[in-house]
Amino acid sequence: MTEPQAGSDIGALRTSARPNPDGSWSISGTKIFITYGEHDLTENIVHLVLARVPGSPPSTRGISCFIVPKVLPGGQRNGVECIGIERKMGIHASPTCTMRFDRAHGELIGTQPNSGMAQMFTMMNAARLTVGISGLGVTERAQQAAGSYAAGRIQGRAVGAPPETASPIIDHPDVRRMLLHVRSHVEAMRALSYTNACALDLADHGSTAEERSGGRERAQLLTPVTKAWCTDLGSELTRLCTQVHGGAGYISDTGVEQFERDIRIAALYEGTNGIQGIDLVRRKLPMREGAVVRELLDGIDATAPQFEATMREQVRDANAALRQSTEWLLAQEEPQDALAAATPYLRQFGIVLGGFHLARQATVASSDGALAGSARYFCEQVLPQASALVPAVTAGCDALQAAAINL
């Protein structure tokens, strides 16, 4: 997809496709930042390439999708080559390539040009969910490293430990706070990711048409939240895991700083997290005039009475705050106000869903002490942020527009 002038703005892409007499196409242009655009792990690489055919309408309406193999069926090399590999902050095992297409032989996907965006979107929800899950996975791994380091690193005497002894840092409240903060978020992210994946499965394999359309709508609504919330948290929480290691965390040989570097990309690619927020407020909230999001919020309120008293109140309060923000957004006529609210709203959405799922898990698996501890921590320490975000969401864009940003 990506070209130098066409990143978030895919509609600006210029790669061209000219028809050949035999019905195939001749593709020319340059793509940048292409993951595994070139490698020697397989004999052939089949590229999916977005390009414009002659006379296509402007913007995303005029984009078509082509299959362009590195090696053609007859064995000869196609006109596609890697002309550069980026040096970058993390994911060093993943080649990020600049690709040049010089009259490369391509085949149109489908029968009609200008269907490229719709075709890409058939993959988009699954791709964005997968990137969200990478936030979860890398944080889980960093958490394991931080937990085992904290159990073995001896510093200072914890309150209540015998005199003249030193304690593992895991016994100090501030270290426990960091570890529990990470663990409770990991469990919340996991629950959200599974819920999102379940909605995608129902969209494809639900037993009735109603179940399939319900799954499709729920997946549409949840996917930007899973992608952006889990990957923003991936960056924040891996940083916290470095913090647990003290100075050793900053030393490359310890290995934990790699998690911070590797996960940073997940907030940027597959649609930046800013773009996910915009997708949520501009395309997903208006689905069925707001009925899709309201059904989700109603479901949370309907389930909360099953929770023990304190968590019930915390989840209800947070959900009321999310409802207030949602109704405000649905009522906005000025797109600028909704756009300004997109990122704080997505954060609020993630927090409420995270707290709800943790409370629900703790209720269903009531004998699981670790889950109960995570749920209690999250509901006490994190869920109240949902109410605190209402003013940021509903402030409108005046302050952003009025402020002078001096460069």
Query: What are the residue numbers of the active site?
Result: 270
Check residue 395 for interaction with ligand FAD (CB under 6 A).
no
Q: Which of residues 261-290 bind ligand FAD (CB under 6 A)?
A: 265, 268-269, 272, 274-275, 278
**Counting beta carbons within 10 angstroms of the beta carbon of residue 127, is it exposed (0 to 12), middle (13 to 18) or buried (19 or more)?**
middle
Q: How far is the CB of 370 from ligand FAD (least distance, A)?
A: 35
- The CB-nearest residue to ligand FAD is 7
Torsion angle, alpha carbons of 301, 304, 306, 309, to 10: -130
DSSP secondary structure, 258-326, as one string: HHHHHHGGGGTSSS-HHHHHHHIIIIITTGGGGHHHHHHHHHHHHHGGGS-HHHHHHHHHHHHHHHHHH
**If we measure between CA atoms, which residue out of 206, 188, 184, 199 comes closest to residue 129?**
199
Q: Which of residues 83-102 bind ligand FAD (CB under 6 A)?
A: 88, 96
Check residue 8 for interaction with ligand FAD (CB under 6 A).
yes
Q: How far is the CB of 170 from ligand FAD (least distance, A)?
A: 35
- Euclidean distance between CA atoms 191 and 280, whole angstroms: 19
Check residue 336 for interaction with ligand FAD (CB under 6 A).
no
Of 101 and 377, which has the nearer Cβ to ligand FAD? 101
- The secondary structure element, H or E, covering residue 243 is helix 209-244
CB atoms < 10 A from the CB of 5, how many?
Answer: 10
Check residue 119 for interaction with ligand FAD (CB under 6 A).
no
Check residue 2 for interaction with ligand FAD (CB under 6 A).
yes
Contact map string, positions 24 to 43, toward ligand FAD, x by CB under 6 A: ---------xxx--------
Q: How far is the CB of 60 from ligand FAD (least distance, A)?
A: 13
Check residue 194 for interaction with ligand FAD (CB under 6 A).
no
Instruction: Spell out the SS3 assignment of 142-207.
Output: HHHHHHHHHHHCECCCCCCCCCCCCCEHHHCHHHHHHHHHHHHHHHHHHHHHHHHHHHHHHHHHCC
Total residues interacting with ligand FAD, rule: CB under 6 A: 16
Q: How far is the CB of 86 from ligand FAD (least distance, A)?
A: 7
Check residue 59 for interaction with ligand FAD (CB under 6 A).
no
Q: Which residues fall within 8 angstroms of residue 29, CB to CB, at 6 or more apart?
A: 3, 13, 14, 15, 16, 51, 101
Of 189 and 265, which has the nearer Cβ to ligand FAD? 265
Check residue 175 for interaction with ligand FAD (CB under 6 A).
no
Of 2 and 374, which has the nearer Cβ to ligand FAD? 2
Check residue 79 for interaction with ligand FAD (CB under 6 A).
no
Q: How far is the CB of 237 from ligand FAD (least distance, A)?
A: 21
How far lies 268's CA from each of 265, 271, 313, in Å? 5, 6, 36
Place of tokens 């004999």: 43
Of 125 and 363, which has the nearer Cβ to ligand FAD? 125
DSSP secondary structure, 217-231, as one string: HHHHHHHHHHHHHHH
- Euclidean distance between CA atoms 339 and 211, whole angstroms: 31
Check residue 320 for interaction with ligand FAD (CB under 6 A).
no
Check residue 60 for interaction with ligand FAD (CB under 6 A).
no
Check residue 381 for interaction with ligand FAD (CB under 6 A).
no
Q: Determine the 3-state secondary structure of 18 from DSSP.
A: strand
Q: How far is the CB of 270 from ligand FAD (least distance, A)?
A: 6
- Euclidean distance between CA atoms 216 and 1, whole angstroms: 25
Check residue 145 for interaction with ligand FAD (CB under 6 A).
no
Among 1, 63, 104, 382, binds ligand FAD (CB under 6 A): 1
Q: How far is the CB of 37 from ligand FAD (least distance, A)?
A: 7
- Contact set with ligand FAD (CB under 6 A): 1-2, 7-8, 33-35, 88, 96, 265, 268-269, 272, 274-275, 278
